[in-house]
Amino acid sequence: MNASLTINSGQSKILCLNQTRRINDFLEMSSAAIAFVDKDGTILELTPSFTRIFGYTIKEIPHIDAWWMLAFPDPVYRENRRKQWNADVAKALEHGGKIHNFEGHVCCKDGHYVWFEAHTSFSGNEIFIMLADISRRKQAENKAIDFAHEADTLRRESAWHNLALSTSHSGTWEWLPETEEHLWSPAIWDLFGLDKENQTPSFALWEAIIDTADRLRVTQKIREAVNQSKDFLDEYRITVSGQQRWLYVSGRSIQTDPAHPLRYLGIVMDITERKQAEIALREREEVMSAIVTQAGDAIELTDLETFRFVEFNDASCSLLGYSREEYAQLTVFDIQAELSREEIRTRSGNAISEKELRFETKHRRKDGLLVDAQVSMRFIELRGRRYSVAIWGDIRERKDLEARMNYKAMIVQATPDAMFIHDFMGRFVEVNRQACESVGYTREELLGMACSISKKTSTWLAPSLNGFMSIRERPISCSAAIGAKTPVYSRSKYISDQSCQTGNRYLSQW
What's the Cα-to-Cα distance from 81 to each of 23, 54, 102, 129, 474, rounded to whole Å? 30, 18, 10, 15, 130
Where would I find the beta strands (DSSP E) of 203-297? 232-240, 243-254, 263-270
Q: How far apart are CA 259 and CA 281, in angstroms?
A: 49
Q: How far apart are CA 489 and CA 510, in angstroms?
A: 5
CB neighbour class for 501 (10 Å; exposed up to 12, middle 13-18, buried from 19): exposed
**Alpha-helical runs (H) found in 383-494:** 396-414, 433-439, 443-446, 458-461
Q: What is the pLDDT of residue 499?
A: 42
Q: What is the pLDDT of residue 193?
A: 92
CB neighbour class for 128 (10 Å; exposed up to 12, middle 13-18, buried from 19): middle
Counting every residue written for the chain, the total comes to: 510
Q: How far apart are CA 430 and CA 506, in angstroms?
A: 10
Q: Can you tell me whether residue 76 is helix, strand or coil?
A: helix
Q: How far apart are CA 483 and CA 439, in angstroms?
A: 9
Q: Are strands 385-394 and 370-382 parallel, antiparallel or unpaired?
A: antiparallel
CB-based contacts of 23, cutoff 8 Å, min separation 6: none
Q: What is the pLDDT of residue 333?
A: 93
What's the Cα-to-Cα distance from 53 to each of 109, 117, 134, 180, 505, rounded to whole Å? 9, 13, 11, 59, 120
Q: Transcribe 130-195 into DSSP letters.
A: EEEE-HHHHHHHHHHHHHHHHHHHHHHHHHHHHHHHHHTTEEEEEEETTTTEEEE-HHHHHHHT--
The full 3-state SS of 213-229, as one line of letters, equals HHHHHHHHHHHHHHHCC
Which strands, in side-by-side order, build the sheet including 385-394?
A: 309-312, 298-303, 385-394, 370-382, 357-364
Rg (CA), the chain: 53
Q: How far apart are CA 249 and CA 207, in angstroms?
A: 13
Q: What is the pLDDT of residue 86?
A: 82
**Closest to 439 measured CA to CA, from 491, 488, 475, 474:** 488
Q: Can you tell me whether residue 384 is helix, strand or coil?
A: coil
Element of type H or E holding 374: strand 370-382
Q: Phi-psi category of 307—alpha, beta or left, where left has phi over 0 and alpha has psi -120 to 50?
A: left
Q: Transcribe 299-322 into DSSP letters.
A: EEEEETTT-BEEEE-HHHHHTTT-
The helix, strand and coil proportions of the chain, stated in percent and rounded to the nearest 5, come to 40, 30, 30
Q: Which residues of the chain have pLDDT under 50?
A: 1-8, 13, 15, 17, 453-477, 479-489, 494-503
Q: What is the DSSP letter of 427?
A: B
Q: What is the pLDDT of residue 345?
A: 87
Exposure letters 163-192 (e unless 16+ CB within 10 A, then b): eebeeebbbbbbbebeeeebebbebbbebb
Q: How far apart are CA 454 and CA 177, in angstroms?
A: 107
